[in-house]
């Protein structure tokens, strides 16, 4: 375990990548790698693989390894982790050919989570995203959760990003006090918080060590999160509109708050559609309706693994209208 925290988790926007399947529900790694390639140069800081949007719970252990390796094969490892990113609005040049890979590794037991961390490291991931165990939710008090995360952080070959997402953890919501205790660990570098509680995010920013990084878990409240001290987001919408999501943060950093507010407002409906309203089926349908129609991905790139079901035609038509309402950015 390192004695001093060196935070490799760069500020910025991380799209949580969907895992692509063919019509037989087998892995479609070629489309997966093409999607990653399409995101290069859009301003993102890295990729989250095997998260909620990656349908990790539907994959075997071997498939999870294949997906991480497939991402690593097309993502150049980031050299010089500690170099500060430069703001595109101030004329800085940011290399977008290299990026971090953060891999979802959370399981219901500490032992299984740690095994996933070890496999993810071998497959080429840079950090592990760990959702809290929730099957025995009534027993997951602060003592159990702190013990769980510390044991993983003590032994993981990868640094840890806490993943707080009540919707994927039976409603379990890590409180600020617990997150701040964990933030003291030198191998726990950041939190992705999808609860949407700005007061809690502000409390973590103030009370956690200065080198601990806080990320919003949703593009719908990116600007509010930045305003209380978050340094970016893991945002599903960035799979579809990466330029727009990254631009909100660029505008905020440049102090152009009126423009940032306008753009943020223009993203809310689309963000809700591919997260809260339609979930993973909505995200994949949105990719078919955008990248699939534009020839950047194959037209039927949105296959799901059962029991998830595709959107109805009526839902797709409604989603298309929402996607068309997203503000387009002028060429820069």
Question: Where in the chain are the domains?
Answer: 12-265
Instruction: List, for residues 194-204, the tens digit of each pLDDT value.
Output: 999 999 999 99
CA atoms of 265 and 241, how far apart (whole Å): 14
CA 85/CA 262 separation, integer angstroms: 25
The CB density around residue 327, as the number of other CB atoms within 10 Å, is 14
Say if residue 1's pLDDT is above 60. no
Which residues does 193 contact at the CB level (< 8 Å), separation at least 6? 164, 174, 179, 200, 201, 204, 214, 215, 216, 217
How far is the first Cα of the chain from the last one, in angstroms, to the nearest whole number? 44
Q: What is the pLDDT of residue 2?
A: 42
Given strand 213-216, what is the order of strands in its sheet?
12-14, 232-234, 213-216, 188-193, 160-164, 127-130, 100-104, 46-49
Is residue 125 pLDDT above 90, yes or no?
Answer: yes
Strand 12-14 vs strand 46-49: parallel, antiparallel, or unpaired? unpaired
User: Tens digits of per-residue pLDDT, 156-202?
Assistant: 999 999 999 988 888 899 999 999 999 999 999 999 999 999 999 99
Query: Residue 7: what pLDDT?
Result: 85
Please tell me whether residue 169 adopts helix, strand or coil conformation: coil
- Who contacts 307 (Cβ-Cβ below 8 Å, separation ≥6)? none
pLDDT higher for 291 or 80? 291
For residues 52-71, give the mean pLDDT: 95
Architecture of domain 12-265: Alpha-Beta Barrel (3.20)
Q: Is 102 helix (H, G, I), strand (E, B) or coil?
A: strand
Going by pLDDT thresholds of 50, 70 and 90, the confidence category of residue 155 is: very high
Q: How does DSSP classify residue 310?
A: P
- Residue whose tokens read 């809310």: 268
For residue 122, pLDDT over 70 is answered with: yes
Residues 230 and 214: beta-carbon distance below 8 Å: yes
- Residues 154/147, Cβ–Cβ less than 8 Å: no
CB distance 263 to 279 below 8 Å? no
247 burial class (0-12, 13-18, 19+ CB within 10 angstroms)? buried
Q: What percent of the chain has pLDDT over 90?
A: 85
Residue 93's pLDDT is: 34
Is the pTM here over 0.85, yes or no? yes
Count of CB atoms situated within 10 Å of the CB of 184: 12
CA 66/CA 62 separation, integer angstroms: 6
3-state helix, strand, coil in the chain (%, to 5): 50, 10, 40
Beta strand 100-104 with 232-234 is: unpaired
- Model confidence band, residue 11 (pLDDT cutoffs 50, 70, 90): very high
**Band of residue 53 on the pLDDT scale cut at 50, 70, 90:** very high
User: Higher confidence at residue 4 or residue 160?
Assistant: 160
**Residue 129, strand partner residues:** 104, 161
Catalytic site residue 69? no
Token readout for 61 is 């252990």
Q: Give the integer Cα–Cα distance in Å for 152 and 193.
A: 19
pLDDT (tens digit per residue) in 203-242: 999 999 999 999 999 999 999 999 999 999 999 999 999 9
Averaged confidence pLDDT in the chain: 91
**Of the residues 5, 192, 200, 284, which is catalytic?**
192
Across 112-116, 133-137, 323-327, least confident range = 133-137
Give the residue-averaged pLDDT of 142-155: 97
CA distance 144 to 162: 15
């Amino acid at each position: 375990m390192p004695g001093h925290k060196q935070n490799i988790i760069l500020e910025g926007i991380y799209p949580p990548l969907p895992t692509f399947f063919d019509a037989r529900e087998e892995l479609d790694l070629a489309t997966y790698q093409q999607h990653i390639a399409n995101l290069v140069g859009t301003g993102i800081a890295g990729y989250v693989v095997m998260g909620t949007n990656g349908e990790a719970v539907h994959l075997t252990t071997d498939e999870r390894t294949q997906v991480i390796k497939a991402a690593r094969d097309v993502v150049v490892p980031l050299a010089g982790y500690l170099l500060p990113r430069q703001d595109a609005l101030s004329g800085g040049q940011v290399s977008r050919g290299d990026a971090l890979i953060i891999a979802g590794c959370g399981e219901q037991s500490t032992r299984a989570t740690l095994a996933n961390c070890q496999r993810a490291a071998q497959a080429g991931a840079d950090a592990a995203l760990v959702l809290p165990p929730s099957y025995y939710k009534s027993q997951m008090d602060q003592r159990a959760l702190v013990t769980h995360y510390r044991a993983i952080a003590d032994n993981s070959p990868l640094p840890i990003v806490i993943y707080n997402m009540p919707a994927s953890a039976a409603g379990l919501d890590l409180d600020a006090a617990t997150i701040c205790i964990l933030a003291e660990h030198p191998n726990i570098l950041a939190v992705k918080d999808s609860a949407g509680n700005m007061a809690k995010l502000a409390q973590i920013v103030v009370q956690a060590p200065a080198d601990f990084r806080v990320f919003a878990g949703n593009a719908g409240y990116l600007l509010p999160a930045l305003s209380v001290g978050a340094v970016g987001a893991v945002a599903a919408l960035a799979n579809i509109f990466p330029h727009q999501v990254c631009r909100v943060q660029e505008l905020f950093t440049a102090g152009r708050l009126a423009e940032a507010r306008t753009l943020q407002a223009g993203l809310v409906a689309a963000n809700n559609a591919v997260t809260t309203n339609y979930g993973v089926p909505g995200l994949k349908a949105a990719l078919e309706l955008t990248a699939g129609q534009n020839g950047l991905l194959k037209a039927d790139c949105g296959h799901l693994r059962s029991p998830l079901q595709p959107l109805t035609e009526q839902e797709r038509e409604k989603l298309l209208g929402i996607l068309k309402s997203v503000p387009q950015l002028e060429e820069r």
